[in-house]
Amino acid sequence: MDIRRTLLWIIFSFSLLLLWNNWQVHSGMPSLFGGSPASTQTAQPAEATGTNPADVPAGTPVATNAAADAVPGSNPAVASPTGQQVQVKTDVYELTFDTLGAQLVKAQLSQFSGFDGSDSPMVLLDNSPNSFYVAQTGVVGAPAGQNFPTHLTPFRLVSTDTTLAGDALDVVFEAESDGVKVTKTYTLKRGSYDIHVTHDIQNTGNAPVTPSLYLQLTRDGNDPPNTSFFYNTFTGPAVYSAEEKYQKISFSDIDKGKANYIKQANDGWIAVVQHYFASAWVPVEGKTRFNEALRLGNNLYAIRSIEPTATLAPGDTVAVKAQLWVGPQDQDAMQAVAPGLDVVVDYGFLTIISKPLFKLMTWIHDFVGNWGWTIVLLTVLIKLVFYPLSAASYRSMAKMKQVTPRLQALREKFGDDRGKLNQAMMEMYRTEKINPLGGCLPMLIQIPVFIALYWVLLGSVEMRGAPWILWIHDLAARDPYFILPAIMMATMFLQIKLNPTPPDPMQARIMMLMPLVFGGMMFFFPAGLVLYWCVNNAISIAQQRYIMHKLDKEQAQAKAHR
């Protein structure tokens, strides 16, 4: 029974630790488990869009170019000019481009509702007083005293169509500066969040030039609205390469100069990730690029990739292609864009389990057409697969419950003599053929699977805005009437009643507190997660009752044959 007491204390202590950690994050303090705290500062976009270009800080890999590259916004500047706003609409987007730099400064996702739960579209990229999150590009590598077109250079809109009518729409901008002309073409496709971007760089001067193209995502350090402090999801830059795989970069590490990521690669992508959504620049595979994550100013950060081009003789043109993802974390669609892009849906060290679970979940959804019932059926299926383990655990607990009075009698008999008490308990276990760990070990084997399923449900954008039945209109939002959390608490209490009562009064009190601690937390969790726990608890109770009933019949038959 000592192992049971230890497990109870571990679970209870971990619950308190989680509650304290989330309170720390909610209060703006650093997380006990790393990462940056929730930020509510106001970004200073002027520092990213100033008119005075500044040299890339010393040590940046791109300094290997013959000319000292100058990416505007690397250091604070003073002015914050804006150009003409160009509105573009497709079946999945409402985009706003700024002719200053031909930047993408706003992206509304028409098929997703806003953070406030209203019918207004979800805003991912934005350039407003309270939010700064934009996609930028530009060309650097000009000789000293000159500037090629960057995200601070005025562009002009060349194309005329701003609404998608067919299968594709080209939005074309053009600018020329100091002997280099840049034509930037955004190609939008029907039903796709994958934007193809082509930069045609032409040397219109009289001397050879060696330009480099930078692809940049600039964002404030604020957490998205509706971020819960009861569970943490990552918000920040990320880099992927075949060599180092997926590397997340926290804003706090950038502030401290401790960001660790691959600086040079010939594959991969850069991204900014938040719960359910992401933006990413994907350069062409096989071409060398230099990655950099940096702090631009107060609560303002950038992740960028700089790709050198060949030397251009006067009159020469080079086309540099890239893809820009701005949208939901749709794993299948993102995987089709670039290798590894789907790993922005981060399942952590349990990815090897979570990925198959997600595939199974989507397969079930193809049949039932409702994500709520998909969760129910998936939980039932997993419980059936683990039934042999669960049966062994419940059988062991049922036997323990039957000998609980005898255990209590032994405690009263031997008092504080732990040696004799343990000896008597082990003798009773041998006589009754009971393994005191039999109820715990089968459960421990199942824990990784259920934790993996937890992360699948928490990270799947498919849950966002998905209804179940009656009052549950969004499985990614908390239950508006707290019915599911109340059911979960009730099922947890019932499970405790079915299990053996711990002889130690302290253990018994901790057991009774568990439903209150976990149930209280579930009041703030997404309804889809709480639904999963409710179904899991209900099936566990049914299985346990069945095993206990079966065991009682076996014992009754054994007594009848004596």
Same domain, 428 and 550: yes
Task: Tell me the pLDDT tens digit for each residue of 119-128.
Answer: 788 899 999 8
Q: Is residue 341 part of a domain?
A: yes
What distance in Å separates the CA atoms of residue 254 and residue 303, rounded to the nearest whole number? 10
Count of domains observed in the chain: 2
Same domain, 370 and 341: no
Residue 332 lies in a domain: yes
Domain closes at, from 346, 363, 380: 346
Instruction: Please give the residue that has the higher pLDDT: either 408 or 484.
Output: 484
pLDDT tens-digit readout, 209-224: 999 999 999 999 988 8
User: From its phi and psi, is residue 94 left (phi > 0), alpha (psi between -120 and 50) or beta?
Assistant: beta
Residue 79: its pLDDT value, please? 36
Determine, yes or no, domain membership for 190.
yes
Q: Is the pLDDT of residue 529 over 50?
A: yes
- Assess whether 402 and 451 both reside in one domain: yes
Give the span between the Cα atoms of 25 and 37, in whole angstroms: 5
Residue 180 has pLDDT above 50, yes or no: yes
CATH number of the CATH domain containing 65: 2.70.98.90
Residue that is written with structure tokens 């952590």 in the block: 348
Q: Which amino acid is at 288?
A: T
50-64 per-position pLDDT tens digit:
333 333 333 333 433
Do 155 and 232 have their domain in common?
A: yes
Q: Is 20 a domain residue?
A: no
Q: Are residues 416 and 284 in the same domain?
A: no
pLDDT score at 470: 82
| Rounded CA separation 464/476 (Å) | 5
* Domain termination residue (choose one: 319, 346, 373): 346
Same domain as 165, residue 65: yes
Task: Name residues whose C-beta falls within 8 Å of residue 537's C-beta, 6 or more positions apart in sequence.
Answer: 488, 491, 492, 494, 495
Statement to judge: residues 122 and 265 lie in one domain: yes
| Mean pLDDT of all residues belonging to the chain | 79
Rounded distance between C-alpha atoms, residue 434 and residue 413, angstroms:
21
pLDDT digits (tens, 9 = 90+) for 158-175: 999 999 999 999 999 999
The residue range of the domain holding 145 is: 35-346
Residues 164 and 188 sit within 8 Å (Cβ to Cβ): yes
268: CB partners within 8 A, 6+ apart? 239, 240, 241, 242, 262, 289, 338, 340
Q: Which residue has the higher pLDDT, 471 or 430?
A: 471
Q: Are residues 217 and 276 in the same domain?
A: yes
pLDDT the model gives residue 508: 63
Residues 336 and 392 in one domain: no
The reply to whether 199 and 311 lie within a common domain is: yes
Residue 536, pLDDT > 90, answer: no
Note the pLDDT of residue 41: 47
| 170-174, 200-204, 524-528, 555-559: range with lowest mean pLDDT | 555-559
End-of-domain residue from the set 346, 375, 396: 346
The answer to the question of residue 5 being in a domain is no
Which residue do the tokens 């995200």 mark? 151
Predicted confidence (pLDDT) per residue in 281-301, tens digit: 999 999 999 999 999 989 999
Is 199 inside a domain boundary? yes
Q: Quick one: pLDDT at residue 533?
A: 84
- Report the distance separating Cα 467 and Cα 117, nearest Å: 13
Instruction: Evaluate whether residue 42 is within a structural domain.
Output: yes
Assess whether 320 and 446 both reside in one domain: no
Output the pLDDT for position 40. 42
Contact 329, 277 (CB under 8 A): yes
Place of tokens 């034509």: 183
313 in any annotated domain: yes
Angle at 269 between CA 462 and CA 284, to 5 degrees: 115
Residues 172 and 198 in one domain: yes
